[in-house]
Amino acid sequence: MNFKRLFLTQLKQFIKEPEAFLLLLSLPILTILLSGIGKSQEQAIRVVCYLPGISVSDTSEQLLTTDTDSAPDASLSTLAEKLYRYDGLYFFDICTSEQEVFDAVAGNRAECGYLFPTNLYAELLKGNLRELVTTVASPSTTMLPVINETVYSLIFEGLAIDALNQYLSEDSSIAAEYDTLYDKNDVEELYQKYLLDDSAFHFEYSGNPEEYRFTKASVLLSPIRGILSVLVLLSAFTGAISFYHLAETSVFNTWKMRISSVTVPVLYTMPVMLICIYFAGLGTGLVKEFLCILFYGAACILFTLLLTIIIKKRVIFVSLLPLFILACLIFTPVFIDISVFLPAMKPLSYLFLPYYYLILF
């Protein structure tokens, strides 16, 4: 049988196999699932806070002071208002209990959290600066130092005017004449003037929560393209397993059968991969995507053919297959780029074909 006729025969047989149908069907289903997961996990950076006696109305979105034994002072209420109305790289949510803060951070629904005491400003004015504010954060957080700057700058805005008045009236050289020489309203007006102009040193983080986002899961890369590339390689491997089975009969142990067995599954998988990439909104241009998939598919075919020459036994090939696929998922940037955390592991990525396809995008 000539190669063309053999090839067409295997094309027809492959599509009739239930395993082949399930493989091709799994690609769009997998794309749908991963696309949905990626969208649901993306959210703006959220910070949770608990201020005793202060909550947020669910209907009016207004801050409320509850009737408790430890009612907050005016400064703490002002701090709560500033946190809730903050417009920057992240947004603050006011929680109703300390446990709610812990649950939000532990459940990865918030980047970090803060627990404020009722007597925060009173203690600060007394000079007690340690262990007043409790910070709740997971070890994986990366934004905590920046968020700390924002939180403590907002605390200072409310503290500074009270500290200034306390210093002028109690500790300064004009303390005895302060009430007669100065009006507190004038002092506060001057304070606000110098606070808001460029004469005071300050940090400013520009942007809004919609421009800076993070994913709640530990998946740092979009896995759709990476998994599809691994599945194309896997389709070549399934063709190789089919060849091993046929090669047990000497009449089928030929180069024509070897090439057609490996090539047919890849030819069926590549168009489906192209469709899935565009369905997931990852397309970067039809010509580029087509050429990249074409060359990648050819590389998978050649690599698999080489393996079938080196590995003579079907049982050995099948035994090594799960380990090889697992290594592809770990050492190539399918889910995460391991070289970011372990640069020494970078050379291992060069041993796996999906790496060369993924670095093109």
Question: How does pLDDT run across 122-161, given as a tens digit for each residue?
Answer: 888 777 777 788 999 877 777 888 888 888 888 887 777 7
* One domain for residues 26 and 114: no
pTM higher than 0.95 for the full model? no
pLDDT of residue 114: 93
| Whether 152 and 102 share a structural domain | yes
Question: Helix, strand, coil proportions of the chain in percent (round to 5)?
Answer: 60, 10, 30
Asked if pLDDT for residue 220 goes beyond 50, the answer is: no
Q: What is the mean pLDDT of residues 53-57?
A: 73
CA distances in angstroms from 307 to 10, 111, 215, 298, 317, listed in the order given: 21, 47, 39, 14, 8
Comparing 261 with 280, the larger pLDDT belongs to 261
Which residue range forms the structural domain that includes residue 190?
A: 46-211
In the listed set 177, 211, 245, which residue is the last one of a domain according to the structure? 211
Tokens of 345: 């592991």
> Do 10 and 87 fall within a single domain?
no
CB 28, CB 279: distance < 8 Å: yes
On whether both 175 and 247 belong to a single domain, the answer is no
Same domain, 289 and 327: yes
Work out how many domains the chain is built from and give that number.
2
pLDDT range class, residue 356, cuts 50, 70, 90: very high
